[in-house]
Amino acid sequence: MFGMKKHTKEIIVNMESLQVRIAVLEEGKLDDFYIERPSDEQIVGSIFKGKIQNLEDGLQAAFVDIGLRKNAFIHYWDMIPEDAARLEEEEGTNRRKTARRKKWTPGEMTKIHPIGSEIVVQVTKGAIGTKGPRVTANLSIPGRYLVLLPGTSLKGVSRKIEDAKERQRLKKILARLPIPENNGLIVRTVAAGARKTSFARDMRSLSTILEDIESGKRDDPAPCRLYNEPDVIERVVRDSLTEDVGRIVIDSRDEYERMRDLVARVSRRVKGKVQLYDGATPIFEHFDVERQLDNAFSRKIRLKSGGYLVFDETEALVAIDINTGRHKGANTQEESIVQVNLEAAEEIARQLRLRNIGGLVIIDFIDMKMKKNQNQIFRTLRDSLRQDKARTNILPISQLGLLEMTRQRAEESIRDTTFMNCPYCVGKGKIKSALSVSVELQRHIEEVLRKRKSMKEELPLKVTVNPLLMDRLRKEDEKSLMALEENHMGALTFVSNGNLHVEDFIISHADSGDELYSSVDR
């Protein structure tokens, strides 16, 4: 039953006690990846009733207590729901036109939202690093086919649905739906081809959620949560179960039954696409997902052409470098470069989704002489990014040969949630060489000996170092250490400690044990 026959698209779900992993495969190739851990609270998309804690006119922003450890941040222009600021494009997300943003004068916002007043907001970006979550008062509640927009009158169809007849059909269905007063509605891209009854069922579900939110707004004291964004299993059924999905395979019987029920709510005829995996081999290994994940999150990504990409994530931006590597086969050097860059552009779009990279991205494509080739690479990347659910903004290749783009950041990248900083390099990616640490150690030994030289007696020192440095001291630095002893009346004893960081060392009095110098936690 679980041979390696490939469907157009497959969703593979791995349920583990500490995490849930979901892989979307396109012809067997990893195309998208989600991970969720019960220990990490998922708040993006959730709606809260909060209290204004502070108004910063200089920042044109406020801080809101929504009951979490860190106060939420909200721009002034996000605090007043307005139809004009609403999305007029796909999926009911909240893209705003900068030109329409009002500049609030000092004290003006205080009259509308004084400190201590209540406000209902939705999280658009989770807490990242030291920053609290980002929120907006422009609410959106996604269903399977519709997105409900409380507090607005906006109604429309996703612009990603381009067929004129289908758009017209969907607009007629939208006009007949019983939309609650003072609420807008967007028809999602996935709704193309859906039956009228599906919209009615989705509308009833969204109306129930809206009633619960309105009840909480009236009765529950702030700060409180009014609406929870569903867990990753429900979100995948809601957002990723499209017509081209051949099957969903899951390795937990309990979640298998739950997923069948969720899918049945969408369409009873696709309920049979959910399959239970009970093989002896772990599900991600059976479907070759584990190997692809290991490759996907490497710093260096090899391309079929022989070229490769290098990813470097920093706090400010992500830098991606493209290299030709072993690529051969084109008639000219320019053609070879274009071939590698074209493959790199498609792979970069995929990698951004897989890694959930957000913020500023700088791509250093291999230099091309011809402007038409640069434009071709730009178009290829732009087209490849169209299937990305996150908003992206891409600029043409600059005169310096760099392409700048941004990708919507809603939460930390997969790298940040899966990996921790190396305790040796502390996130630098490099550690000092044994030679550099030895030079630094000898400098501080000499400093300690010089300070005690006036005592005119031999100073016994115990020097504690990492075993890697000890090896260097024994084999290569013995003469220089003996010279230190002779020149400064010292007696050095070296002790190896494997628990000590390779860059750290401790100099102490050999007899009393008093610490005279330590590089630990400098």
Q: What is the pLDDT of residue 38?
A: 76
Note the pTM of the prediction, 2 decimals: 0.74
Alpha carbon 161 to chain centroid, angstroms: 27
CA distances from 334 to 262, 281, 324, 376, 377 (A): 52, 46, 11, 13, 13
Q: What is the pLDDT of residue 454?
A: 63
What ranges in 277-399 are assigned the alpha helix state H? 283-286, 289-296, 333-355, 371-384
Q: What is the pLDDT of residue 425?
A: 72
Q: What is the pLDDT of residue 283?
A: 94
Contact 239, 11 (CB under 8 A): no
Residue 125: partners with Cβ closer than 8 Å, 6 or more residues away: 44, 133, 134, 409, 410, 411
* Beta-bridge mates of residue 55: 62
Residue 426: partners with Cβ closer than 8 Å, 6 or more residues away: none
Contact 288, 294 (CB under 8 A): no
Spatial distance between the Cα atoms of 157 and 138, rounded to a whole number of angstroms: 18
Q: What is the pLDDT of residue 87?
A: 40
Q: What is the pLDDT of residue 245?
A: 85
What ranges in 146-252 are assigned the alpha helix state H? 164-176, 196-219, 232-240
* Beta-bridge mates of residue 510: none
Q: How many CB atoms lie within 10 A of CB 420?
A: 8
Q: Which of 82, 112, 110 is nearest to 97 (CA)?
A: 82
Spatial distance between the Cα atoms of 359 and 122, rounded to a whole number of angstroms: 20
Q: How many CB atoms lie within 10 A of CB 116?
A: 10
Q: How many residues does the chain have?
A: 522
Residue 405: partners with Cβ closer than 8 Å, 6 or more residues away: 360, 361, 363, 381, 392, 393, 394, 395
Q: What is the pLDDT of residues 285-341, one digit of tens each?
A: 999 998 888 877 788 888 988 889 999 887 788 999 999 877 666 678 888 889 999
Q: What is the pLDDT of residues 15-26, one digit of tens each?
A: 988 889 999 998
Q: What is the pLDDT of residue 455?
A: 61
Q: Which of 260, 266, 244 is nearest to 194 (CA)?
A: 266
Residue 287: partners with Cβ closer than 8 Å, 6 or more residues away: 4, 10, 12, 23, 25, 28, 249
Each domain of the chain, given as residue ranges in start order, spans: 9-40+233-290, 47-229, 299-418, 434-518
Omega before 114 within 30 of 0, i.e. cis: no
Q: What is the pLDDT of residue 2?
A: 56
DSSP helix/strand/coil, 121: strand
Task: Could you please state the CATH topology (level 3) that the domain comprising 434-518 is classified under.
Answer: Hypothetical Protein Ychn; Chain: A, (3.40.1260)
Q: Give the residue carrying structure tokens 């940040």.
A: 416
DSSP helix/strand/coil, 259: helix
Three-class DSSP labels, 429-487: CCCCCHHHHHHHHHHHHHHHHHHHHHHCCCEEEEEEECHHHHHHHHHHCHHHHHHHHHH
Superfamily of domain 9-40+233-290: eRF1 domain 2 (3.30.420.60)
Q: What is the pLDDT of residue 98?
A: 43
Name the stretches of the chain with pLDDT < 50. Answer: 4-5, 83-99
